Structure 1
Amino acid sequence: MGDIAGFLHAHPPFEALDADELAALAAVAELEEHPAGATILPKGGPPVTHVRVVHTGAVEIVLDGRVLDLLGPGELFGHASMLSGLPLGFAAVAVGTTTCLRLPADAVRPVLGMPAGLRYVARSLLSSALAGPAGADDGSASSAQRPVGELLRAPLVFAAPALSIRETAQRMTASGASAVVVPLRDGRVGILTDRDLRRVIAEGTDTAAPVSAAMSAPAWTVAADRLGGEVLLDMLDRGVRHVPVLDATGQVLGVLTDVDVVAATTRSSFGLRAAIARAGSVPELVAAAAELTPTVIALHDARVAATDIAGITSVVVDALTRRLIELVAPGPPPRPLTWLALGSLARREAVPSSDVDSALVWAGDGQGRADNAAEYAHALAEQVLSGLAACGFRADANGAVATNKLFARSYDGWVAAARSWLADPTQERAPILVSLAVDARPVWGVRAAPAVADVFRDARRHPDLLRLLGRYALAHRPPTGFLRDFVVEHTGRRRGKLDLKRGGLVPIVDLARWAGMAAGVTSASTPARLRAAAAAGTLDPGPAATLEEAFHLVLQLRLAHQVEQLRAGEEPDDLVRPADLSPVTRVSLREAFRTVATVQRRIDRELQLGVR
């Protein structure tokens, strides 16, 4: 038993257990031997009642004849089925003579419910080099790649700040909720959880006191389109178990709990370990990043939606960025600092050809204090962008990078620039800079700092800016000039080819950004912006829905084209020959382009009339 306890203690998530807990677990462990090629766990079998830990040898995780993962000593498998109560979504097969430790579910379940266990589940699915197919046999997508707005389960309960703690607790009990949301006067919210109530009782607080005396405020909130795995990691890092989820207009949709995410995560197929998180050097990080190409190919072959694959790609780049900052930062920053993703990465719409748009923001006024915040930011950005390039993610060639002074400012500097663009949108490059800044999403750094993109929430009060952004959104027209064919390039390497990004996606992305800003929405995905615009009336529901359909179609075609290039060892791009597309695809693409063109013409007329 001592040998078994020592073995388990050397591997996550068991390393967090104390000696007595390890001894108890070792006492119920059974050592089993499997010959080469033996199926240890069959796909579609009943829910697992015992999980396994590879002791010697190796185990392949197989789906429909394709190997998804190769597990070595210390690797845990079967826990997803055990936690969810669902049939296995894969088969586990011994590679050579293999021994496993067989652990009862009742003994392992409490381990996975501990913070270290929750972190193990989250990181194994989110930060892995390969997330695996996004659905188990029940067809549900992996919550690591699902928006948290789709994971909400608990009823939403509100309480006024003046309501007593006792009445608030009664309201929570009656509804079966473990948290209550308290609206605040400034538009933000507070939150009271069951853990807060336990503290109230322990401290002897008068339960007749208002709930505002016991709540946490302002509560940390997340947008509904953030991915479940990433939010779970943030929750674990912050030590919180509840977080209010906001829709694109800032309204509370519900309260997410860590159990919501883990419960949904365990319904997904098994993923690899957190290769990025454990990289101890830049070369190790480069080696981990090299697995993204086969990951994208495997996910595409598994028919995972293009939006999900784009989300996974964006999450991987986020993880690489954070780990690079940890590895290369030249000491602690002189002022609190935040790294921002811009462009497709910020919208979680990255594909293999996407470059890295980035920015930096630090606390303060940037008025030449002696702390050298700007110099530090520039040195950090150079190192991080160099590391990302080594990992295969090149910096934006047009200068939207954190080493450019235009994209590295103090928070006050960003606010001043944004307000100047709002006041005078005719400034040189103002539409481009606004379009980039409004996409900005924090990746690393200060959590409580105001978001740069939030400066543009009142864009509706600046009709000149919106009108100019509307015209900017109309600058890219889809290639619908020929009745029987597409407009293609006529010179150079683009001759005879159609640009899916410039001709297909960019017009939709720009329209969605403009319409979203008109609806008061800043940083968000393109589909989320379109839905918010339809809800707010800045786009009619019909055109908004058809634009969203067109977005999904073009993104899927773009990704499929790049996957074939990756298979062939070619550099991915956005140029396709219309003749290489199937007749059905050509018809669908032509209709999508015509839909976008129709919406553009309608908006063009309205802008000329001053309607919007």
Structure 2
Amino acid sequence: MPEDTQTFLAGIHPYDTLPTEERAQLCGMFRRLDVPAGQVIFRFGERLDGLYVVRAGHVRIEGEQGEVLSHLMARNSFGERGLMRDGFAASTAIAEEDCTLFLLPAGRFLALIEAHEAFRRFFSRGKGEAAAPRRPALTDMRVAELMAADPTTCEADTPIRDAAALMRERRISSLPVLEKGALAGIVTIRDMSNKVVAGGIDPTGPVAGIMTRNPLVLAPSAIGSDVLHAMMEHRIGHIPVVEAGRLVGIVTQTNLTRAQAESSAHLVRDLAQAQDVAGLAAVTAKIPALLRQLVGAGNRHDVVTRLVTDIADTVTRRLLAMAETELGPPPVPYLWAACGSQGRQEQTGVSDQDNCLILDNAASEADMAYFTRLAQIVSDGLNACGYVYCPGDMMATNPRWCQPLATWRRYFAGWIAKADPESQMLSSVMFDLRGIGGQGALLTRLQEETLAAAAQNTIFVAQMVANSLKHTPPLGLLRGFATFRSGEHKDTIDLKHNGVVPVTDLGRVYALQGRLPAVNTRARLQGAMAAGIVSPGGGQDLLDAYDLIAQTRLEHQARQVAAGEAVDNFMAPARVSDFERSHLRDAFVVVRRMQSAAGSGRGVPG
């Protein structure tokens, strides 16, 4: 298969854990399938030919009864459940649009499962970066995640005509009715139609005359199945949500439909169809709600951040396409690459942009004007979509980070040779590069060369280890936390710089020591254990600690979204239970222990 296929697989876990030569051989075993929209790829109960990987397009997965289980997009895999069970499909797969799929023969897939722990763990237990993340099950979601908060209401003595006008103005189909601040009833479009229009009730009379008194209510802690069962049993489409006697929201059939529809796949589809930057920004504005929904449904942090990053990748590629439409075809091949959290596929609800352009060596001085303009269009578009300009100017708009491949080779060689503070800082950023749009081959060879050179330079590795110890966990005395003592973030801890970043830095060091091509932190930690860079015990402890810290960070951001607050990384330990604080502190202790082991050169505790 072409070289870009190798680049494609290298960006997917667990394929990124394979040695380069083995991954290249594996590429030759995949068969490309071009599937038109609407075609059934396989049906429930049919014998499977192998594992499918989506290269482009969208695939819908349905259960035995035709219920939609998930919507898959590029880099998602499917068919593994049936292959690992009895060789027969456990679901039905349908192309939602024209798709390009890669098919790995069943025998080869099962051989990978047998030979590689990373593949076995990934496909059999659902751990790691889920290749085919499913949307949260509606039946398991909390009502608090489904409801419309602070619903529009009216008083019981409001004239029916005024209540109808309010519903039309707000484009809502129901209206909770209050008496002395408490929920007294609910009126719906059906009440207006059946009782007023068809029943002849005077529209100037009070809405209390047509409302349903003492309606069925649910608590925010109820789950989606409670909503569905209540709606079916009582034949209603609107349920007020009450907590401690106070109306806090309403859940309707529209909310249920929206919860099912607002998946990352649908956002990606909307982005792909957007015609301008304003259209892209309208879609990315939904990311906080998506994050809240995904976290509220119990998804792991690595699944959530992967889905959020996929959206950023799609925005970037759409902006590149828009730029090329405006500027014309590029004069030479190029690669737009991301570093930072987007490069590692670990974006949360707070993200600036970190990116660069790697140009083909054929680029002339005259060609630079084209790429300067392209970088500006894309960077401005990202900023408009909520990915704000990098405060450190680590962007392709900076001429330093828009250079031919030969210059990038000199950059990395110089950083490795010097290993001064600036070189360490830049290496920490640039070792997380991942291609987003353009020619992936421009980065593949560069990464291989750089990893080899860096691993051989023991002084550089030692200084990168020292650099990784600059961010320390927020541990205080007497089993407490070292919170900020003053300022804007008083009494909080920074879950990013003192929580996630220390583990990210350790993962990067392990990748250098083991020449591991993965850039995702979880994949690096797993690769380090597989390669013997860290002991199984120490590595698993660190992985578990990272999972807890990263999950806590996402849950904190989801709470902020729910409260209508600006999303950040600063959490007050008092906002979580004693149980959670105890486990979070234990996680920070593990990180500090692993930092000490890395810094002392004594190896990693088991």
> Normalized against structure 1, the TM-score is what?
0.59
State the partner residue of 1:431: 424
Out of 503, 520, 527, which is 1:525 matched to?
520
Describe the SS at the equivalent of 1:413: helix
Deviation at 1:404, TM superposition (A): 1.9
Out of 361, 364, 385, which is 1:364 matched to?
361
Deviation at 1:303, TM superposition (A): 1.3
Deviation at 1:145, TM superposition (A): 9.0
1:28-48 CA-partner distances (Å, limit 9, x unpaired): xxxxxxxxxxxxxxxxxxxxx
1:474-495 CA-partner distances (Å, limit 9, x unpaired): 1111111322310011221011
1:54-133 alignment runs, 5 A limit: 85=44, 121-122=58-59
8 A contact 2:58–2:72 mirrored in 1: no
1:403-422 alignment runs, 5 A limit: 403-422=397-416
State the partner residue of 2:507: 512
Deviation at 1:566, TM superposition (A): 1.6
Deviation at 1:154, TM superposition (A): 7.3
Give the 3 Å change call, closer, same or farther, for CA 306–144 of structure 1 in structure 2.
Answer: farther
State the partner residue of 1:550: 545
8 A contact 1:441–1:523 mirrored in 2: no
State the partner residue of 1:354: 351
Letter in 1 for 2:377: Q
8 A contact 1:84–1:266 mirrored in 2: no
**How far apart, CA to CA, are the structure 2 residues paired with 1:505 and 1:137?**
41
**How far apart, CA to CA, are the structure 1 residues paired with 2:74 and 2:473?**
30
Aligned length: 407
State the partner residue of 1:294: 289
Matched, 1:457 2:448: no
Describe the SS at the equivalent of 1:339: strand
Q: Which runs of 5+ in 1 are unaligned?
A: 1-74, 87-104, 106-114, 126-131, 156-175, 177-228, 255-262
Give the 3 Å change call, closer, same or farther, for CA 264–481 of structure 1 in structure 2.
Answer: closer
**How far apart, CA to CA, are the structure 2 residues paired with 1:267 and 1:121?**
14
Letter in 2 for 1:349: E
State the partner residue of 2:372: 378
**How far apart, CA to CA, are the structure 2 residues paired with 1:409 and 1:152?**
45
8 A contact 1:143–1:268 mirrored in 2: no
8 A contact 2:136–2:299 mirrored in 1: no
1:273-321 CA-partner distances (Å, limit 9, x unpaired): 4111111122211222222222112212211112111000000000011
Deviation at 1:377, TM superposition (A): 2.1
**How far apart, CA to CA, are the structure 2 residues paired with 1:455 and 1:429?**
21
C-alpha RMSD of the superposition: 4.3
Runs of 4+ in 1 over 4 A off after TM superposition: 117-120, 136-155, 239-247, 250-254, 263-273
Describe the SS at the equivalent of 1:545: helix
State the partner residue of 2:329: 332
Letter in 2 for 1:392: G
**How far apart, CA to CA, are the structure 2 residues paired with 1:149 and 1:434?**
36
State the partner residue of 1:491: 486
8 A contact 2:516–2:524 mirrored in 1: yes
Identity %, equivalent residues: 26
State the partner residue of 1:101: none
Matched, 1:501 2:501: no
Letter in 1 for 2:462: R
Out of 423, 432, 436, which is 1:443 matched to?
436
**How far apart, CA to CA, are the structure 1 residues paired with 2:405 and 2:135?**
41
Q: Which runs of 5+ in 2 are unaligned?
A: 1-36, 47-52, 88-92, 121-130, 138-259
Give the 3 Å change call, closer, same or farther, for CA 510–84 of structure 1 in structure 2.
Answer: farther
**How far apart, CA to CA, are the structure 1 residues paired with 2:66 and 2:536?**
34
Out of 569, 578, 593, which is 1:583 matched to?
578
Letter in 2 for 1:601: S
Give the 3 Å change call, closer, same or farther, for CA 587–266 of structure 1 in structure 2.
Answer: closer
Letter in 2 for 1:538: I
Out of 463, 467, 471, which is 1:468 matched to?
463
8 A contact 1:141–1:268 mirrored in 2: no
State the partner residue of 2:473: 478
Letter in 1 for 2:433: A
Describe the SS at the equivalent of 1:442: strand
**How far apart, CA to CA, are the structure 2 residues paired with 1:343 and 1:403?**
16
1:249-260 alignment runs, 5 A limit: none
**How far apart, CA to CA, are the structure 1 residues paired with 2:43 and 2:290?**
25
